[in-house]
A and B are shown apart, each in its own frame.
Chain A
Amino acid sequence: MKGNIISRVWNFYIDGFKSMTIGKTLWLIILIKLFVIFFILKLFFFPNFLKGKTEEQKQEYVSEELINRALTE
């Protein structure tokens, strides 16, 4: 195999993926699954309580959570 190291590595992977048989089906399923988990679920079901907060505000939020769960419940 000729060329510089980057093109050799690139061709190595391209040739490898092209020659895959069962692996293609598996990777397709995995990509669909990761898309559902990271995009759809994250977008619609899991609110980010700490988004947009400074480090101090995050600490305040978590400390209130920890303190009040013990003292008010």
Chain B
Amino acid sequence: MFESIDTSLIDWSRAQFALTAMYHWLFVPLTLGLAMVMGIMETVYYKTGSAFWKKTSQFWQKIFGINFAVGIATGIVLEFEFGTNWSNYSMFVGDIFGAPLAIEGILAFFMESTFVAVMYFGWNQVSKQFHFASQWLTGLGATISAWWILVANSWMQYPVGMQFNPDTVRNEMVDFLAVAFSPMAISKFFHTVMSGWVLGAIFVVGVSSWYLLKKRHIEFAKASIKIGATFGIVASLIVAFTGDISGVQIAKLQPMKMAAAEGLKDGGNGVPFTVVGNIKIPKMLSILATHDIDGYVPGINNLIDGGYKLANGETALSAKEKIERGKKAIVALATYRKAVKEKDVAAKAEAKKVLDENMQYFGYGYIKDPNSLVPPVGITFWSFRVMVGLGGFFILLFIVVWWFHRKDKYQNMPWLQKIALWTIPLGYIACEAGWIVAEVGRQPWAIQDMLPVNAAISKLQTGSVQLTFFIFLILFTIMLIAEICIMVKSIKKGPDVLE
């Protein structure tokens, strides 16, 4: 009666979601970053009344607008896929996931969309003050929008503030604040949004450097680099700081992700950090993961075998024990629903008790092989190093560019200008690598410990998902090409600045 779920269906559905998310994240971070940069530029215009800064701000607004429009479209598709490809997940998470997305749609997105119209259409229609406010409110709307999306994502990584209701088969929110302000949501918000700010700064510095290389719009380029590099230093340092906080949280809440990101098979105390290959920094992983030089970091084998001491003093369960408890929870759910139908009050109460006792391991009931709890180590390991390595490079680049700009030498350094220009694609790679660590590193879970992807997925025809994957791939690629063409055309045309 119940056909087994084909693993290729899971892979294709994951691939389709990953494709959409990765395309979406090509547009969003630049929108977040440019919103801030052009906000700063319009603030300078608002304070000085300088036509130069008005035109400078307008140029970056044009680039912002292209990203904004394309980003909306891919974002809608992403939410759409929750219902089509991940319908069990959508039902299971209920309002917890729906509420942040609804708030994002109703409040933040409409706020963003309203003021973005004023920002573009209102230069000669509204007062200078109102336009200034609209500019910042557009950026604020985009940022609040990101907050709620990241709240929803963080809940999948660290489910809190809910209670599973076996009658409705849904997780029901019992503590909105715990969901909205979970430590995972806060650190993810700052880390992710600031990474968008870094990309915005990279983009501004890179494009401006291109103008310097072409010896066009020199004053515009220098002014943009000044703001871009300064903003970039601040944003990239905050990204590094929040990355450190995220590391401690992941070690505590998603230890398997941490072990995979480090390729750590056997953990221990005072664990070194592997840079690449055999290059290791003694004790560094313990410091990063626990902020303690001799802190204990479990490896993949430790997490599968259990038996080590947790931070709260309890002994960690093995994967097999968790699977057993997960199965108990699922059997208890089945017993509960049968008891409800048969109006057997005693059986219902007993089943509910067993379910509550084992609910935190519910998702493990779907796991057949403990080894399937290990995410793809190679891709997580290397994505993490790409993200961190490029993050360090961005800090260095911003400082160097800022320094030489301050000394009025940057204009005569084409080699550095070329590096800044070719750092633009690296900014995108770093952003995507970050999401790969976050999402691939938590496989096989759709919701950490509660629902693996094989239970969350809709029972679709694999062929349909394969076909729609390629339709999406073609559509998104067309969108990306269109966006790049329009953007390159706008950049080549240049700002309408009098110099």
A-side interface residues toward B, CB under 8 Å? 1, 12-13, 15-17, 19, 22-23, 25-27, 29-30, 33-34, 36-38, 41-42, 45-47, 49-50, 58-60, 62-73
Q: In the complex, what distance in Å separates the CA atom of A29 from the CA atom of B486?
A: 12
Main SS class of interface, A: helix
Structural contact, A67 and B69, CB atoms closer than 8 A: no
Q: Which of B162-176 contact A (CB under 8 A)?
A: 166-169
B468 touches A63 (CB 8 A): no
Q: How far is the CB of A68 from chain B (nearest CB, A)?
A: 4
Closest to B451 in A: A66
Question: Other CB < 8 Å A-B pairs besides A12-B117, A69-B366, A73-B4, 20 of them?
Answer: A1-B125, A13-B117, A15-B125, A22-B66, A22-B486, A26-B70, A26-B483, A27-B69, A29-B479, A30-B72, A37-B76, A46-B460, A46-B464, A58-B91, A59-B169, A62-B169, A65-B2, A65-B455, A65-B459, A68-B2
Find the B residue at minimum CB distance from A27: B69
Interface centre among A16, A29, A63, A69 (most CB of B within 10 A): A69
Q: Which residues of B contact A23 (CB under 8 A)?
A: 65, 69, 120
Using Cβ atoms and an 8 Å threshold, which residues of chain A touch B489?
22
Chain B window 113-156, contacts with chain A (Cβ cutoff 8 Å), 1 for yes, 0 for no: 00001001110010000000000000000000000000000000
Bound-complex Cα distance A13 to B114 (A): 10
The 10 A-B residue pairs with the shortest CB-CB distance in the complex, in nearest-first order: A16-B121, A68-B2, A46-B84, A62-B91, A70-B330, A45-B464, A63-B169, A67-B334, A30-B73, A70-B365
**Alpha-carbon distance A34/B122, docked complex (angstroms):** 27
Determine which of B1, B70, B365 lies in contact with A30 in the assembled complex, contact meaning CB atoms within 8 Å.
B70
Query: Given A46-B84, A72-B2, A73-B4, do A41 and B468 touch, yes or no (CB 8 Å)?
Result: yes
Nearest CB of A to B80, in Å: 7
Centre residue among B121, B459, B486 by max chain A CB count within 10 A: B121
A36 to B473, CA, bound (A): 13
Interchain CA distance A69-B3 in the complex, whole Å: 9
Distance in angstroms from B122 CB to nearest chain A CB is: 7
- Contact at A45–B87, with CB atoms within 8 Å? no
Does B120 contact A16, Cβ atoms closer than 8 Å? yes
A-B contact count (CB 8 A): 123
Contacts of A12 in B (CB 8 A): 117, 121-122, 125
Complex contact B92–A66 (CB within 8 A): yes
The answer on a CB contact under 8 Å between A65 and B88 is yes
**B226 neighbours in A (Cβ, 8 Å):** none
* B73: chain A residues within 8 A (beta carbon): 30, 33-34
Q: Are A49 and B458 in contact, with the CB atoms below 8 A?
A: yes
Contact A37 B365 (CB under 8 A): no
A16 neighbours in B (Cβ, 8 Å): 117, 120-122
Residues of B within 8 A of A49 (CB): 87, 458-459
Contacts A63-B169, A67-B334 given: A45-B76 contact, CB under 8 Å?
Answer: no
The complex places the Cα of A63 from the Cα of B336 at a distance, in Å, of 11
The answer to whether B77 has its CB under 8 Å from any CB of chain A is: yes
A37 to B459, CA, bound (A): 19
16 contacts between A and B (CB under 8 A): A22-B66, A25-B486, A27-B69, A30-B72, A37-B77, A37-B475, A41-B468, A46-B460, A46-B468, A59-B168, A62-B91, A63-B166, A67-B330, A70-B455, A72-B4, A73-B5
Q: Within 8 Å CB of A41, what residues of B? A: 468, 471
Residue of B91, B125, B366 touching A70 (CB-CB under 8 A)? B366
Q: Which residues of B contact A34 (CB under 8 A)?
A: 73, 76
Q: Mark B176-207, 1 if CB is under 8 A from A, else 0.
A: 00000000000000000000000000000000
User: Which of chain B's residues have a CB closer than 8 A to the CB of A46?
Assistant: 84, 458, 460, 464, 468
In the assembled complex, which residues on chain B have CB atoms less than 8 Å from the CB atom of A30? 69-70, 72-73, 479
CB pair B169 A70 closer than 8 Å: no
**Complex: chain A residue closest to B489, CB-CB:** A22
Among B72-96, those with CB < 8 Å from A are 72-73, 76-77, 80, 84, 87-88, 91-92
